[in-house]
Structure 1
Amino acid sequence: MDLGESGALHAVSSAVLAVNRHLSVREVLQVIVRAAAELIDAPYAALGIPDEDGAFAEFVTEGIPPERERAIGPMPRQHGMLAVMLKDGEVHRHGDIRKEPGFWGWPAAHPVMKGFLGVPIRDGDTTLGILFVASEEGVGFSDRAEELLTLFAAHAAIALSNARLHEANRELSVVEERNRLARELHDAVSQKLFSLRLLARAGLSGNPVGALTQVEQLAGEALGELRTAIYALTDLPGDGLADRLRKHCEVLDHVYPAAVTFTAEGAPDDDQAVYRIAQEALHNALRHAEAHNVSVTLTDRLLEIRDDGRGFSDAGSGLGLASMRERARLAGGELSVRSGGEGTIVRLELP
């Protein structure tokens, strides 16, 4: 099971890069396990994440078919060699794990494993998880395999920590988005409803026909604002960028008189910044430019929003452009805005 020096370095590099492309904790766990099995050339691998009670909160495997995994039953809790590793946080390598004092046996459907190599995934003094590989052979794993898996576990700790931070940031972004929507509802819908009350009162003593016309218009606008806000509450971070933008454009197409179309051929990795820029550009086109047609095009390297509205004279200030440019800068992209009498084109080019 030894690997050559160059092949080993390539395997570690590929595995770490694969891990860091995934952002959710569950995805990271699965990629770590698969990469560990490939790195050591082992038929089986698993990764357990401890909970606050010293058992496993999550347990991900590689090499065991799904139907057999279901037959094995619930994830291990606080017994066997995995429990020993959770407690001592040490590297364990055995030629035949069944002969070890800490071995408790397996469920009936569990495959027979002899060779065992387990290493902790640590962040300082904290054990983030237990990573192990196993084989059906009783030969065991080499010193080189232990060295490689230990090295990979150190890199996996960084990826796992980043994934947890990313999920925490996503939760914070949900809270921020709800607060933004609350402010938007107050600023837009509440003001229109207040205007409706004033018009209704004025219509009773003045020009009821004219007042009713304005009431109808304002009520339609308020309904549109409310629908958009309600949709946004169900569109908080979670879906892929292309799906979120497609649904958002569909709602806007129904709410506003303008025709809003969307086409996509792929999507960039940094979806949050791109999505917010698209939202702001659509807001400008539909609420300020009085556009009749708005098109959104998305690829893995480009976001483009075109409208045939009246445009605006200064493409470098106002209308949320400052925040759009800042989001583009943080995403490592370049934002360009071209506006005139024939409409506006907002382009975000990503590296």
Structure 2
Amino acid sequence: MDQRDELRALSSAVLDVAAHRSVTDVLQTILEAATRLLDATYGALGVPDKKGSFAEFLATGLTDEQWRAIGPVPRQHGLLGIMLCDPSAVRVQDIRLHEEFAGWPEEHPELTDFIGMPITAGDQILGELFLANKRAPGGFTADDEELLRLLAGHAAIALVNARLYEKSRELSIVDERNRLARELHDAVTQKLFSLRLTADAAAALLPRDPERADAELATVRTLARELTDELRAVVDNLRPADLTGDGLDTALAKQVALLDRVHGATVALTGGPCTRLSPEREEVVYRVAQEALHNALRHGSPRSVTVDLSCDGGAVTLTVTDDGTGFDPRARAGAGRRLGLASMRERARAVGARLEVKSRPGGGTTIRLAVPASHVAGERSEPAT
């Protein structure tokens, strides 16, 4: 293979590495490329663990039967251990004569000429790549060593990128779990609470007023159906069912009417209709209203709760006010209220809205959300307080 062919093969190998995302795929591509480029019979690549062995250990040139016969993954001893501590390359005519040679299992193939290269990123040794038994006579050359060092440098970048990709995927999974937790909390918890209250009311009315109990059970059926729709919307990442069909004003009116019926407190809606917002912003307003109502009715023991929807200066403002027990926003809230407040703040930030929470012990609570009618992508919102 002449120099031009080597460079073409190396370029192809690096592109192959960049195309793979999992760490194992990256390592396999590195190993196969190195074995092919240096015309070696055998090759191996190891990534150390913290227990004296290898988290990943791949080999090429062996049959499946040979691999099984060799036995467990090697330990970090002998020359393998030295290469994980010293960033220098190792190139010898006969590995069996090296002072650090520690032997191999009975079924291991006989190795003679050997070249090994640590895979490094800065001061960190990420792994080691080694080849043995060059097919052409004369063993591995200085040019082979330089080529392997070049490939190991690209391999280090690819390995770091693959690890970062896997880490980012793990973080994405965590983010998605958090999103689902918020969605379930926002969309489902309120209806479950209302469902429970309505069922309790139906049970209490059944002995003395079956007709009213039957009406309450009809509400239970309605809530159960809506709850099913909400769960389906969460799973499918759809908008709330009421918003899809009715729009923000009507959806809020339905929510308020339902809560006013099933709770002892008076729940009323004022203001509206307002400027239509994008579907994303309408959902934020609706979810924040749901959460604010839920927090007030569940934690505040109010006599009345008012939801106001107004338009002013190109913005839609939602205000939810209650005359309940209130709380100190600076103090650590309970788990339910804390998750609810965090959910509202995250939703507000996502669409460039401003969220204000005003409350004091014994003085009720006011939640105000101001959503701009137009929102430039990437615009940062003012801090939610």
TM-score, L = length of structure 2: 0.58
Counterparts of residues 13-28 of structure 1 (less than 5 Å): 13-28=11-26
Q: Answer yes or no: is the 8 Å Cα contact 1:92–1:117 preserved in 2.
A: yes
The one-letter amino acid of 1:207's match is: R
**3-state SS of 1:216 partner:** helix
* Alignment equivalent of 1:76, drawn from 65, 74, 90: 74
* Alignment equivalent of 1:222, drawn from 202, 220, 227: 227
Residues of 2 paired with 1:94 and 1:315: CA distance? Answer: 75
Residues of 1 paired with 2:167 and 2:72: CA distance? Answer: 27
* Alignment equivalent of 1:317, drawn from 253, 259, 278: 278
Q: Answer yes or no: is the 8 Å Cα contact 1:121–1:154 preserved in 2.
A: yes
Residues of 2 paired with 1:5 and 1:58: CA distance? Answer: 32
Residues of 1 paired with 2:66 and 2:233: CA distance? Answer: 46
Higher mean C-alpha deviation, range 217-226 or range 75-84: 217-226
Unaligned runs of 5+ in 2: 246-274, 285-385
Residues of 2 paired with 1:287 and 1:29: CA distance? Answer: 51
With over 3 angstroms needed to count, the CA separation of the structure-2 counterparts of 1:174 and 1:110, relative to structure 1, is same
Equivalent residue number for residue 293 of structure 2: none
**3-state SS of 1:74 partner:** coil
Residues of 1 paired with 2:220 and 2:38: CA distance? Answer: 71
Equivalent residue number for residue 208 of structure 1: 213
Unaligned runs of 5+ in 1: 233-278, 291-313, 324-351
Q: Answer yes or no: is the 8 Å Cα contact 1:20–1:159 preserved in 2.
A: yes
Q: Answer yes or no: is the 8 Å Cα contact 2:52–2:76 preserved in 1.
A: yes
With over 3 angstroms needed to count, the CA separation of the structure-2 counterparts of 1:287 and 1:160, relative to structure 1, is farther
Residues matched between the structures, number: 249
Equivalent residue number for residue 343 of structure 2: none
Q: What is the CA distance between 1:284 and its match in structure 2?
A: 3.9
User: 1:43-95: CA deviations, max 9, x gaps?
Assistant: 21111112235543321111212221121111111323212212222101111
Q: Answer yes or no: is the 8 Å Cα contact 2:198–2:219 preserved in 1.
A: yes
Q: Answer yes or no: is the 8 Å Cα contact 1:113–1:136 preserved in 2.
A: no
With over 3 angstroms needed to count, the CA separation of the structure-2 counterparts of 1:190 and 1:156, relative to structure 1, is same
Residues of 1 paired with 2:57 and 2:42: CA distance? Answer: 13
Equivalent residue number for residue 172 of structure 1: 171
Equivalent residue number for residue 349 of structure 1: none
With over 3 angstroms needed to count, the CA separation of the structure-2 counterparts of 1:5 and 1:315, relative to structure 1, is farther
Equivalent residue number for residue 162 of structure 1: 161
Q: What is the CA distance between 1:197 and its match in structure 2?
A: 2.9
Counterparts of residues 1-351 of structure 1 (less than 5 Å): 3-53=1-51, 55-135=53-133, 139-201=138-200, 203=202, 204=205, 207-223=212-228, 225=230, 280=237, 283-284=238-239, 288-289=243-244, 317-319=278-280
Residues of 2 paired with 1:24 and 1:210: CA distance? Answer: 57
User: 1:158-197: CA deviations, max 9, x gaps?
Assistant: 0000111112112222222222121111111111112213
Residues of 1 paired with 2:110 and 2:201: CA distance? Answer: 84
With over 3 angstroms needed to count, the CA separation of the structure-2 counterparts of 1:110 and 1:285, relative to structure 1, is farther
Residues of 2 paired with 1:134 and 1:316: CA distance? Answer: 67
With over 3 angstroms needed to count, the CA separation of the structure-2 counterparts of 1:32 and 1:226, relative to structure 1, is same
With over 3 angstroms needed to count, the CA separation of the structure-2 counterparts of 1:49 and 1:222, relative to structure 1, is same
Q: What is the CA distance between 1:226 and its match in structure 2?
A: 5.2
Q: What is the CA distance between 1:142 and its match in structure 2?
A: 1.8
**3-state SS of 1:211 partner:** helix
Equivalent residue number for residue 337 of structure 1: none
Equivalent residue number for residue 251 of structure 1: none
Q: Answer yes or no: is the 8 Å Cα contact 1:40–1:145 preserved in 2.
A: yes
Q: What is the CA distance between 1:211 and its match in structure 2?
A: 2.8
**3-state SS of 1:169 partner:** helix
Which of these two proteins has the greater Rg computed from alpha carbons? 2
**3-state SS of 1:88 partner:** coil
The one-letter amino acid of 1:146's match is: E
Residues of 1 paired with 2:66 and 2:139: CA distance? Answer: 24
With over 3 angstroms needed to count, the CA separation of the structure-2 counterparts of 1:85 and 1:201, relative to structure 1, is closer
